[in-house]
Amino acid sequence: MENLLDLSIGELRRLLDNKEITSQEITRAYLERIKEVDPRIKSYVTVTDDLAMAQAREADERIKRGEIAPLTGIPLGIKDVICTKDVKTTCSSRMLENFFPPYDATVIEKLNSQGAVMLGKLNMDEFAMGSSTENSAFFETRNPWDTERIPGGSSGGSAASVAARLCVASLGSDTGGSIRQPASHCGVVGLKPTYGMVSRFGLVAFASSLDQIGPLARNVEDCAILLEAISGHDERDSTSIPKVSFSRDGVLEKDIKGLKVGFPKEYFIEGLQQEVEEAVKGAINLFESLGAEVKEVSLPHTEYAIATYYIIATAEASSNLSRYDGVKYGFRAKEYENLMDMYKKTRAQGFGPEVKRRIMLGTYCLSAGYYDAFYKKASQVRTLIINDFKNAFKEVDIIAAPVAPTTAFKLGEKVNDPLKMYLSDIFTIPVNLAGIPGLSMPCGFDQKGLPIGIQLMAGHLQEKTLLRTAYNLQEALKLSFKWPEV
């Protein structure tokens, strides 16, 4: 049998259902690989060996009884920002270093109901704030294609673990590109669903009007299987869309004749790495050979997206992170003189520099006399960005663009220049501001052998069209994929 670790969800499903292999064998193979390889990649904050084997045994029993769901017995990794009952959930922060949630997030309940296996919790930028996974309070994760480089962020552990074959697929979260940008840098497929399609109940909040949980996987089919499993209305999340669910029927249809694909002129700008531009444009040209119609579109307010995002996201972060005060749960400073001193010392010692920077920015934006000038103005510009997409989607079905301006940069290269770091998200942020779905998939490699991703975007709740387009492009690109030998 070919190497177990090379198989996708779909391939493992067939072997499991035909009883050619057990979930325990697959899970054991992954746990052994984590022991052997992860010390070099550092994608896991917590490995749940005993729980994973117990879940695998239970999955094998289910399969014997014929109670089979698409993810029964499949070993997955979970970003450490998603609550897992009685399993440490740290958000890669000292503030939650010893936090064991008393409940499961909705997405975890959904995975458990299918009998999926959880291998562990994956490293990230602290509280999902960052683009390189260098802001983790514990350690930086490395890119499996070149361990001197960043895997992207904030879901760096989620992307690196899939690329290094340390799990079959994973869940991440995306607030401004945190699934798509690391997916691009690690050469995997990553999907940010429509805002409200996947419940945020149990997702530790960063910016509540932008955060969305989504899958990272080896191919488009696996992404669709995971999205089907985790999507749906949840009354515990007030932003969850009523009567919404996603079915993957028709996603793998080989036909996009007559589909209209737009490329936004505002995304092909100065500073875009030449190899990235060539690979993305090459993939866009492939659409024409598949019978799609390709045309230029305009998203005129793109240049304001970064400024808008860093006001809205930091303002919401300032509000959300005010709960970490040393009183209710999480870290508390050991020595203090009075209540106010305890608050100050707890927050000073518990948060890392990037989180503090964003809390201060956000608090300033929300302060008396500045609210109208910053937060209100940013919300108005956000509406203009939403309207840009609405207008573009009147002309086209899909918008195709780069995911990131460059391939993965070196560890430490941008750590001391927050503005340079923030610009890594220039092409992904507008999707979050507009609440639409966006997907990153591999479309080539640069001369150093680093993966390049193309970003596909679709209208509100148009995941099926998005995934079908991505699947057709994936088949047409025929990338000869050899996963990195770590």
Q: Which two tokens stand for residue 186?
A: 């690690």
Only one residue has tokens 């340390």, namely 166
For residue 79, indicate whether it is catalytic: yes
Only one residue has tokens 């304001």, namely 304
For residue 231, indicate whether it is catalytic: no
Secondary structure (3-state) at 120: strand
Burial 222-258 (b: 16+ CB within 10 A, else e): bbbbbbbbbbbebeebeebbeebebebeebeeeebee
- Which of 79, 121, 192, 464 does the annotation list as catalytic? 79
- Which of 131, 136, 154, 440 does the annotation list as catalytic? 154
Q: Within 10 A of 86 (CB to CB), how many other CB atoms are there?
A: 11
Closest CA to 400 of 265, 291, 307, 308: 265
DSSP label of 272: -
- Which of 131, 173, 178, 231 does the annotation list as catalytic? 178
Which residues have CB under 8 Å from 415's CB, separation 6+? 132, 134, 421
Distance CA 251, CA 467 (A): 6
Total count of residues recorded for the chain: 486
Which residues have CB under 8 Å from 367's CB, separation 6+? none
Closest CA to 247 of 11, 464, 467: 464
Burial 380-398 (b: 16+ CB within 10 A, else e): ebbeebbebbeebbeebbb
For residue 154, indicate whether it is catalytic: yes
Q: Within 10 A of 97 (CB to CB), how many other CB atoms are there?
A: 16
Q: Tell me the H-state helices in 246-396.
A: 274-289, 305-320, 339-350, 353-366, 377-395
Q: Torsion angle, CA of 29/30/36/42, rounded to 10 degrees?
A: 180
Catalytic annotation, residues: 79, 154, 178
